[in-house]
Amino acid sequence: MASLTELPAWKALQQHYDSQGKALKLADLFAADATRFQRYSSEFKDAATDTTLLVDYSKNLVTDETLDLLVQLAEATGVASLRDSMFNGDPINFTEHRSVLHVALRNVSGWRAFKDASGQSVDGEVRDVLGQMKRCADAIREGVWTGYTGKRITDVVNIGIGGSDLGPAMVCQALTPYQGTGPNAHFVSNVDGTHLAEVLKRVNPETTVFIVASKTFTTIETIRNANSAKAWFLTQASDPAHVAKHFIALSTNLKATGEFGIAPENVFRFWDWVGGRYSLWSAIGLSIAIHVGFEHFEALLRGAEAMDRHFAETPLRENLPVLLGLLGVWYGDFFGAATHAVLPYDQYLGRLPAYLQQADMESNGKYVTRNGERVNYATGPVLWGEPGTNGQHAFYQLIHQGTRLVPCDFIAPLRTHNPIANNAHHEILLANLLAQPEALMRGKPLEAALAETPADLAPHRVFEGNRPTNTLLVRGALTPAALGALIALYEHKIFVQGAIWQINSYDQWGVELGKVLAKNVLGELRGEVPLGEREHDASTAGLVAYAKGFLEQGH
Ligand code: F6P
């Protein structure tokens, strides 16, 4: 394929941006079209899981022509054929020779047969592991699986990092209302001993199961934390035979889990075609299944499956992940927006921005195309966010009056799990959710500011407005299925953008160098490698010597 910016579809978009796009005014667009909301919003519905998600993209700086041109870009960049390759199990993660088949993990209804790159069916193995997860989750939740003193399990501690932490941590928090009598879920990710130490203060070894979650089972943070957790456990349980009742591993590396000492029946496998940041649907989701029950974990999968089908089968112009992906390209590559904010108005979704940060930034934070060339356009945005309304009292100032364009996604379920004070909290929350996109779009003109303040102060109260947003509303409560659909929507949006930018969204070589250099420094700090033997720049050498000097004084 020709370079992205050389494609006629790209050039047409650039020309459209220069001639009209950059001057579009949301207020004018709404004034000119009374049906804009109806035409530029769409309900995703899945009857099987009773899920409805409204996606309103009408407050974007686009016209029919813009959307047509964006869809033409998706066509010209082969989004649909790459999507089909993913669903077919082709090794689209070509730098690691792997299929990208997280979609096969939520094929609960069996809507299609999934095969890996070698043509082998994966569906049977996926079902087997799901069965193993169900048996484990049921046994723990029903008190059949007990600790070494025969007590019921009250807590699970997931030890993992990145994709082996953020997905399950985000989902467990989001689905807290479904915990019932199930165990509490804790998450230890950071190698900072504080993280583990603080969790261990809250749990009892007799009633705690540790889940060591690591695709590779070589990640230094996870292995260090797992070893320390095991040592802590053994100081109390004393007999190493008790480890079998209290340690589970989730990994593709069965050799390493055995070496760590985890009983084979406590190992839950998954496959190299599951990317770490797309793995919450696999055995990595075991903490979810234990915390909220397997039936709710399965409902999460079903919701994601419904979104997979929508993505696979819906024409590009009505395809929600495609539309959201294209809008992101429009802002990032033509308007120069460097960031994208995800703003959930639901406390249970507090970790969604952090989760999406990895999903998006580790996938699309790349400057080399699939052809090995450096891009001459912007790729993945800096993704960030916080739950509303907290953000309103913190960083929204910059979104409203700052110099940078920050496209935002506002997300909320229309029903709360906690309708306290006669639903008053939720009404206030929703009112704020609905008002912020309006304020960002509408702004406040100078005349209005002049009506309330002297002329010299009026400019400070002017809001330019015209700031684009999407609003995503779950029609009901945030159920497991609705959450599954929402996460899959973002996963596929990321896919679409990676396809357009011609990058491989499924490797992450950019994280490797830091790991190697950290090993070097660790050797120096521990005195295993003399200072000066490793080559460092003067700053790093100075800092290493400074830290080592302090540590050697026994502080
Ligand atoms: O270092 C980045 C990364 O490889 C992520 O992609 C991954 O989610 C995380 O580390 C954890 O990896 P693992 O599950 O192999 O421990």
Using an 8 Å Cβ cutoff, are 485 and 309 in contact?
no
Measured in residues, the chain has a length of 555
In a mutational test of the pocket of ligand 1, which residue from 505, 511, 515 has the highest number of ligand atoms less than 8 Å from its CB?
511
Mind telling me the catalytic residues?
Answer: 362, 393, 515
> Can you tell me which atom of ligand 1 is nearest the CA of 160?
16
Based on the domain organization, do 84 and 180 belong to the same domain? no
Q: 360 and 399: one domain?
A: yes
> What is the structure's pLDDT at 382?
98
Summarised one tens digit per residue, pLDDT across range 175-212 is 999 999 999 999 999 999 999 999 999 999 999 999 99
Q: Are residues 414 and 483 in the same domain?
A: yes
Looking at ligand 1, which atom is closest to the CA of residue 276?
8
Residues with CB under 6 A from ligand 1: 161-164, 214-216, 219, 222, 276-277, 362, 508, 511
Q: Are 272 and 279 in contact (CB under 8 A)?
A: no
Per the prediction, the chain carries an average pLDDT of: 97
Q: Which domain holds residue 246?
A: 120-294
Instruction: Give me the pLDDT at residue 2, please.
Output: 76
Q: Which two structure tokens, joined as six digits, stand for 302?
A: 């079903």
Shortest-distance atom of ligand 1 to CA 515:
1
Question: What's the CA-to-centroid distance between 189 and ligand 1, angstroms?
Answer: 11
Residues pairing with 211 in the sheet: 158, 248
Residue 90's SS3 state is: coil
Contacts (Cβ under 8 Å, ≥6 apart) of 146? 152, 153, 245
Contact 299, 177 (CB under 8 A): no
Alpha carbons 106 and 312: distance in angstroms, whole number: 14
Same domain, 263 and 375: no
Q: Flag whether the pTM goes above 0.95.
A: yes
Nearest atom within ligand 1 for CA of residue 511: 1
Q: Give residue-wise pLDDT tens across range 96-125.
A: 999 999 999 999 999 999 999 999 999 999
Distance CA 78, CA 229 (A): 48
Clarify whether residues 253 and 378 are in a common domain: no
326 lies in some domain? yes
CA distance 280 to 171: 9
Residues 253 and 225 in one domain: yes
The sign of the torsion formed by the CA atoms of 43, 44, 46, 49 equals: negative
**Location of structure tokens 């979650």:** 213
Q: C-alpha 301: how far from its chain's center? A: 15
Q: Is residue 59 within 8 Å of 26, Cβ to Cβ?
A: yes
What are phi and psi for residue 478, nearest 5 degrees? -75, 90
Q: Are residues 138 and 251 in the same domain?
A: yes
Q: Which of 95, 161, 507, 512 to mutate to test the pocket of ligand 1 (most atoms within 8 A of CB)?
A: 161
* Regions of the chain with pLDDT less than 50: none
For a ligand 1 pocket test, name from 158, 165, 216 the mutation site with the most ligand atoms within 8 angstroms of its C-beta: 216
Q: How far is the CA of 161 from the centre of ligand 1 (A)?
A: 6
On the 0-12 / 13-18 / 19+ scale of CB atoms within 10 A, 258 is middle
Claim to verify: residue 478 and residue 335 sit in the same structural domain: yes
Q: 219 C-alpha vs ligand 1 centroid, how far in Å?
A: 7
Q: Which residue has the tokens 């048996």?
A: 135
Instruction: Give me ligand 1 centre to Cα 49, in Å.
Output: 31
Here the CATH number for the domain that contains residue 197 is: 3.40.50.10490
Ligand 1 centroid – CA 504 distance (Å): 17
Asked if residue 95 belongs to a domain, the reply is no
SS3 87: helix
Number of domains in the chain: 3
**Residue with CA nearest ligand 1 atom 16:** 214
For residues 167 and 399, give the distance between their C-alpha atoms in angstroms, rounded to a whole number: 27
Instruction: With beta carbons less than 8 A apart as the criterion, state whether 338 and 380 touch.
Output: no
Q: Is 113 inside a domain boundary? A: no
In a domain, 243, yes or no: yes
